[in-house]
Amino acid sequence: MGPEILTEKELMEKKPWLNPGKWFGSPITWLPEVRATLSSMPKEVHIQETTLREGEDNASVSFNMEQRVEIARRLSDMGVSHIDVGDIGNPLHVETLKTIMSAGVVKPPTRIQIFTRAHEVNDLNREVDKIVKYGATAIGFISWDHWDLSESIKYCKTNYPHIYVTFGYTGTTGRVGARAPKDATMRSSFDWQIEFAKKMCEAGADRIQMSDSMGCGSPAAIRYLSTQFKEAIGPKKSLLLHAHNDYGQAVANAVAAVEAGVDWLDTAVNGLGDRAGNTALEEVVMVLECLYGIKTGIKLEKLYEVSKYLQEASGVRVQSYKAIVGDRVWMESGHARMLIRWKRKGVPFFEAGMETWNPQIIGSTHELVFGKASFIPEVIKGFLEYLKLPSDENTVNKIYAAGLKQIDERIARGEDRFFTEDEVNSLCKKMAGKT
């Protein structure tokens, strides 16, 4: 447990913030005095994926069964540790579990998890039997109103020792109006949750789940809670954070949790989920892998294709400039006039210091475009010279004026407000007298 702390000499030799050709982060993160503050941080974080459950809690999202199976296949192929398919009380979730397991698309070590919803021991035990019968390899027990689920956890681990068991709360951070004990809402003390977690671990739970169900936890709150839980359950039990994004803090909270010792994160592709969504898989994985040097088991090269598939399947497009997987993150305009020079010299953009991570590592690529900020005389002259066309001032000014006029016309029509590299080439050839 705990991050590797290197001396100044070792840092300069190893440069752990740099993965040549792939990514770099701030060297400050690796300073001994900074790493010392992360003494509880794990060396590896497992990903539990909740797209099939939380994703559909978003009012805009609905998957058919074929898509559910394909999503499960892709998540397993990319290295997700657990796939959450819902709860046993929902017939569609049960059918999803059965269909995925019969399709054989989920390969070890990926496990399939489904939640129980009962609170009486006999009902819970019957649900456990059903869950195992249907093929799940992980079970989540959820506590509402101080439900003591220890007897059913013991029943599960005694009769089905191969099943991975999680015990969790509906709202660890506390919220007004929640169906949780009064002393769990709007207070800084969560002693009852800590004691419950210890008891459930003693009963056999493999992991405790904290839930920022309303997305109202701050990074400071999540870090504090993570520390308290981790100290209580000990190093042999795992701790997971399930976070919502109501204040845009889900990824920040997930990282804060990891800094405090959390070794599992609940995520959703593209940040899909109820209300403002959940912790975005692609964002938190890249932060942990690239900026902290923490392994997640996720195949980074599959992030972009999985994101694209989920956009198609869900019908929900991410914003074009969304971190990591936005379609136009690597559609460079502002720096296009510099990048085009490097491209012509055959120098990779990463090597030129023009990007913090290479989009090829996630299966994406660059595209240079030229809008009003980058379609300037200097750039046009460079295009003409590269094409071995006349590049005198009159020719450059003529192309510049024509190009700005075309961009304005595109704006008026509601079209893209830029030229692609090929379009600039064509415009230069046309107006410089060579077609």
Contact 249, 284 (CB under 8 A): no
Give the integer Cα–Cα distance in Å for 55 and 170.
17
Closest by alpha carbon to 421, among 341, 367, 357?
Answer: 367
> What confidence score (pLDDT) does residue 186 get?
38
Where does residue 66 rank: exposed (0-12), middle (13-18), buried (19+ CB within 10 A)? Answer: exposed
| CA–CA distance, 70 with 252 (Å, rounded to integer) | 29
Cα–chain-centroid distance for residue 372? 33
- pLDDT given for residue 231 in this prediction: 94
**Residue type, position 299, single letter:** K
Whether the CB-CB separation of 250 and 277 falls below 8 Å is answered with yes
Kindly list the averaged pLDDT for each block of 10 residues, start to end, along the chain of length 435.
77 90 92 91 97 91 96 98 96 96 96 92 94 96 82 96 92 53 41 88 96 91 94 95 96 97 97 95 98 97 97 94 91 80 84 85 89 88 90 92 92 90 91 69
Give the CATH number of domain 40-314.
3.20.20.70
What is the separation of C-alpha 213 from the centre of its chain, rounded to a whole number of angstroms? 17
Cβ burial 129-141 (10 Å sphere, 16+ → b, else e): eebbebebbbbbb
* 374/335 Cα distance (integer angstroms): 8
Locate CATH 3.20.20.70 in the chain: 40-314
What's the confidence (pLDDT) of residue 343? Answer: 86
